[in-house]
Amino acid sequence: MDEFMQAAIAEAKAGKQAGGIPIGSVLVKAGKIIGRGHNKRVQDGDPVTHAEIDCLRNAGRIGNYKGTTLYSTLMPCYLCAGAVVQFGIKKVVAGESKTFPGAREFMESHGVEVVDCSLDECEEMMSDFITNNPELWNEDIGE
């Protein structure tokens, strides 16, 4: 596991410690993290503050996203995949997609390279959360 996925996992853990959903994300450009975030829907009372959206907000205005890679502990949903496509991010690295398949095909159909690392740590973190917080999880995914 590389340092960028480790940073995304650290964000997920920070979100969980703050009473939220354990999903984390980092945006990398030229080998450096330029943005990081975690799911803050619960903390902020904001239905669209997913980890990837928080990460992009924290990166700020960067001009363009050529050469960036978005790391996320979970395969991005359609909301976050839409942001990836909208901003022209061409690579997404996901920690896992077993607990939630996300919008992989949507991103790939728009020319995004998607890498699913299938990491046990990410899967266990989400599986535990979903088991212990099914109502909150279903709200997060719109069910």
The residues annotated as belonging to the active site are: 52
Do 69 and 30 contact (CB within 8 A), yes or no? no
The CA distance from 48 to 30, in Å, is 28
| Phi, psi angle pair for 12, to nearest 5° | -60, -45
